[in-house]
Amino acid sequence: MTVNIGAAGLDRAELLLRWLAERDDDVILLTETSAGPGTAYLLEQFRRAGYITVNTPDDGDRGAALVSRVSLTAHEPDAFEQVSIPARVAAAALDTSPRTWWVSVYVPSRDRSADKTARKEEFITSLLKTIEQFQPEERDRMVIGGDYNVITSDHRPLHPGFLPFEFALLDTLSAEGFIDAHARCAPGSQPYSWIGRTGDGYRYDYFHVGPELGERLRDCAYLHETREQRLTDHAAVELYLNVEAERLECSGPAGPEALGLF
């Protein structure tokens, strides 16, 4: 699953953790993490429960994290060190059969200013370049998920203001053989994962899987209870893949008490 936690403070992080603990996810990709107490609390409680956590702290920016109850064959911090903002990517190779590579991504948002536009374009360009440099067998079994802060070129409605480099993120992933998991599972549908103040919907949060995982893709869905319960302003996205893995001996997660988190 992936969910943007909106730099949650401690109170909201506790509510998020209760919701996450009631689920049964093997891998959780968190985006818009922060250096504040909310993110620290979430990651520490998962570590105490026996999960593995991966993130690159950066006091000056928002970031991404990966939480796994599957063993890692490798933590991939150096693989994305050339990305313009490394803290916005958390990656690891998981001990699954077949082996899979997981990448949690939080693309910067922007306004109309030249500085923030250039910052976002540089991040997207460097991210795509880094993914391209992985070995073919790694890309073929890679799972990329998170808040991309872009929409597709056939988004309904096609909101004005998005620039060619933003559409290029999804177009390039497609050209490299990555499969938009929800588009494959529910062709023709138009989900929204974030609703603006004007009520307009945007699909910002995604899962993409490498071509070798296409036949292992079972389902992908948007979970709106995270917005409806005001845990965050984004819908979560869940992904089901048919791969084998030995789960770690983690507490729960039948509920917060079973996890021993509270």
Task: Answer whether residue 261 is part of any domain.
Answer: no
d(CA 80, CA 92): 11
Is the distance from CB of 7 to CB of 38 less than 8 angstroms?
Answer: yes
pLDDT at 117 over 90: yes
User: Does 45 map to a domain?
Assistant: yes
Percent of the chain with pLDDT over 70: 94
As a whole number of angstroms, the distance between CA 171 and CA 231 comes to 31
198 located within any domain = yes
Alpha carbon distance 79, 142 (integer Å)? 13
**pTM of the predicted protein model:** 0.94
- Quote the CA–CA distance of 262 and 260 in Å, as a whole number: 6
Domain CATH code at residue 113: 3.60.10.10
**pLDDT at 9 > cutoff 70:** yes
146-202 confidence digits (pLDDT tens)? 999 999 999 999 999 999 999 999 999 999 999 999 999 999 999 999 998 888 999
Q: Which of 119, 136, 138 is nearest to 127 (CA)?
A: 119
Is residue 19 included in any domain, yes or no?
A: yes
Q: Note whether residue 256 is domain-resident.
A: no
Q: Is residue 257 part of a domain?
A: no
Q: How many structural domains are present in the chain?
A: 1
Residue 170: inside a domain:
yes
Domain that includes residue 191, residue range: 2-246
**61 is a domain residue:** yes
Where does residue 40 fall: left (phi above 0), alpha (psi -120 to 50 degrees), or beta otherwise? Answer: alpha
For residue 72, what pLDDT band results from cuts at 50, 70 and 90? very high
32/164 Cα distance (integer angstroms):
24
Judged by average pLDDT, the poorest of 50-64, 107-121, 145-159, 202-216 is: 50-64
